[in-house]
A and B are shown apart, each in its own frame.
Chain A
C-alpha cells in the first residue's frame, strides 16, 4: 500500500531564512511521482514542484527545491529565503504509476513565517 508521512504538524521560520519540510513515502511501484502543493488560508491548492522517481537531479522551481533521497524514501521540500506570503499549509503527495495513477496526500505541515 502507498503511504505519505509528514511528521511536522507545524513549523516556524524567520523571514529570509531557509526551511525544510519533511516528507517520507512508501510504495511498491517502481515508477512514481512526488509532488508538493501549497494551500494558503484562502483554500486553493497550488502546485509547487514535481519529482519523478527516475529523475536523477533534484527538482527546483524558483525558491523551491525538492531534496529527493530515493534510498531513504524521502522527498523534503526546501524553501529558500522565506517570505511572509509563504505562510500556508504544505502537502506532500505521491502518484503511483499503477492502479489508475491515483495520488495520495500527506496530512500536511503548517508553515508560519515570522517577520
Chain B
C-alpha cells in the first residue's frame, strides 16, 4: 500500500516547455486534488476531481490542465511553462466518506 505517489520528484524546465505531473493513489479514493505551495503562501488549490472522468477548477487554475481518465490517477499538465510556475506541487486524495486528505511527497518544479 503505497498511499499517494507523485512522479517526478524534481524537474527543471525551460520557459515554454511542457510537462505532465503524475499522481497515483492506491486507496480507491474518489476525490483527488492538485495544490501548489509557494514560500510564505501555504497551499493553493489548482484543480480537483470528485471522481473518474471529472475535473474542476480551484483557486489558481490558469496555465494548468488536468485529466482523470482512471480513478487512481490524476494528471497535471503545463502546456507552456512560465517562471511563475516554479513551485512545489502536492497531490492529495480523499475517500468520499472520509475527512482527511492524504498527501503525496511533492514535486519540486523549477522553470528557468
Contact = CB atoms under 8 A, between A and B. Distances in A.
A43 B39 CA distance: 12
Given A47-B100, A50-B99, A101 B50 contact: yes
A102 B45 contact: yes
Interface stretch (B16-24, B62-70, B76-84, B101-109): B101-109
Nearest to A89: B42
A68 interface: no
Contacts of B58: 102
Q: Secondary structure of the B side of the interface?
A: strand
A80 B100 CA distance: 23
B41 interface: yes
A100 interface: yes
B31 interface: yes
B74 interface: no
Given A44-B105, A52-B99, A100 B48 contact: yes
Contacts of B101: 35, 47, 103
Contacts of B42: 4, 91, 105-108
Chain A CB within 10 Å — which of B43, B45, B50 has the most? B43
Enumerate the 7 nearest inter-chain pairs by beta-carbon distance, A residue then B residue, closest first: A45-B103, A105-B42, A105-B43, A107-B42, A50-B99, A47-B100, A108-B42
Interface of B: 31, 33, 35, 40-45, 48, 50, 56, 58-59, 88, 90, 92, 94, 99-103, 105-106
26 contacts: A9-B40, A35-B100, A43-B88, A44-B103, A44-B105, A45-B43, A47-B100, A47-B102, A50-B100, A52-B99, A95-B99, A100-B48, A100-B50, A101-B31, A101-B50, A102-B33, A102-B48, A102-B58, A103-B45, A104-B45, A104-B59, A105-B43, A105-B44, A106-B42, A107-B41, A107-B42
